[in-house]
Amino acid sequence: MLIDFNNLNINNLSFQTDFEQKIKNFLDEWFSDGYTVKVQTSGSTGAPKVFEIEKKKMVNSAVMTCNFLGLKEGDKAVICLPVEYISGKMMVVRSIERKLKLIVSNPSLKPVEYLNEEIDFCAMTPLQVENSLEHLHLIKNLIIGGATVSESLKKKIAQNERLRDIRIFETYGMSETLSHIALKQIMPEPEDYFTAFENVSVSVDERGCLKIFAPDVNAEVLQTNDLVEIRNEREFKFLGRIDNVINSGGAKIFPEVLEALVKKEIPNEAVFIGIKDESLGQKLILVIEGEVSAEFKSKISAIPFEKNFHQPKEIIFTEKIPRTPNGKVNRIELQKILAEGL
């Protein structure tokens, strides 16, 4: 299904699939007299919740992304993210604001496998990208969000010769920032720091957690629980969530940093978790998705971790690591499973 927002007549469109009908419902809500729309959070860091966002602020967010990527009227985009969440809603709003031609593709692991022509813009999750590597060369501007882009996926992207001429970015944002407020380039030149959009400034609190001031999308300074390294008021490096910090023997461990090291060596999902321990407070455990592998264990033991206590005390293999509805690792649920005995 193609929706041309330069010549939109909803009554002339045929919304047949469940996903298409959800898009229609959002369009009806968007073009209604109300000045807000309802958005659901993913639930990756707590219980999912629904809140209302001003349409004007969503338009402002859309403008920032479109300007950064240089999208123009008539460009083609693909929506393949659920419209229950801000990620999918913002793809529609960007298309409305910039009058794009929006190709509707049901959210799946391979949402762009049918593509046979170049498109200008698409937003995908890391899992979708992982399963679509042979088709990405047709997308001029790709943003990846919803979860951290693993080192193994970055390596696959870098090794794909067909992707040399396209732009691929990792996003930083959340429901409360109306999708992303910063991008970090993966291709053609990989970057270590996220760059915030114009009129967005960043700082840290006394914990080292990121504070965001983006007046176009939020009148208040937004306090996050994301630990970062600040380069300047618009550039920062993500270290991990303070909620996920593991305190083992009095030492603070950032699991996301260790996971990035592990994922350079193995292709499977890998998550560091702290479980209660009488002597250490929390014992560092590495959970790997997949069958037991002596090769993986050997590779992990050879990783030159910065500190000795970064080496996991135990490695556990599991058939499936729990995830939230939009694909993020559910650390809270995994913690419960480990506590009960994996």
d(CA 315, CA 40): 35
Query: Which SS3 state, helix, strand or coil, does residue 88 take?
Result: helix
What integer pLDDT is reported at residue 51 of this predicted model? Answer: 80
- Contact of 90 with 62, CB cutoff 8 Å: yes
What integer pLDDT is reported at residue 277 of this predicted model? Answer: 83
d(CA 274, CA 243): 11
Ranges under pLDDT 70 in the chain = 41-48, 326-327, 342
Quickly tell me which residue has 């049901």 as its tokens. 106
Residue 250 Cα distances to 133, 167, 254, 283, 309, angstroms: 42, 42, 13, 11, 11
Strand partners, 174: 179
For 89-129, the pLDDT digits (tens) are 999 999 999 999 999 999 999 999 999 899 999 999 999 99
For 182-218, the pLDDT digits (tens) are 999 999 999 999 999 999 999 999 999 999 999 999 8
What integer pLDDT is reported at residue 150 of this predicted model? Answer: 80
Does the domain formed by 2-241 have CATH 3.40.50.720? no
Q: Would you give the DSSP letter of residue 309?
A: G
pTM, whole model, 2 decimals? Answer: 0.79
What integer pLDDT is reported at residue 226 of this predicted model? Answer: 93
Cα atoms in the 13 Å half-sphere on the side-chain side of 174? 19
Quickly tell me which residue has 């599991």 as its tokens. 318
Cα atoms in the 13 Å half-sphere on the side-chain side of 49? 9
d(CA 229, CA 94): 30
What integer pLDDT is reported at residue 10 of this predicted model? Answer: 86
Give span(s): CATH 3.40.50.12780, the chain: 2-241
d(CA 262, CA 296): 9
d(CA 237, CA 174): 16
Give span(s): CATH 3.30.300.30, the chain: 245-340
Instruction: Tell me the torsion sign for CA atoms 87, 91, 92, 96.
Output: positive
Q: Would you give the DSSP letter of residue 67?
A: H
Query: Which SS3 state, helix, strand or coil, does residue 237 take?
Result: strand
Does the domain formed by 245-340 have CATH 3.30.300.30? yes
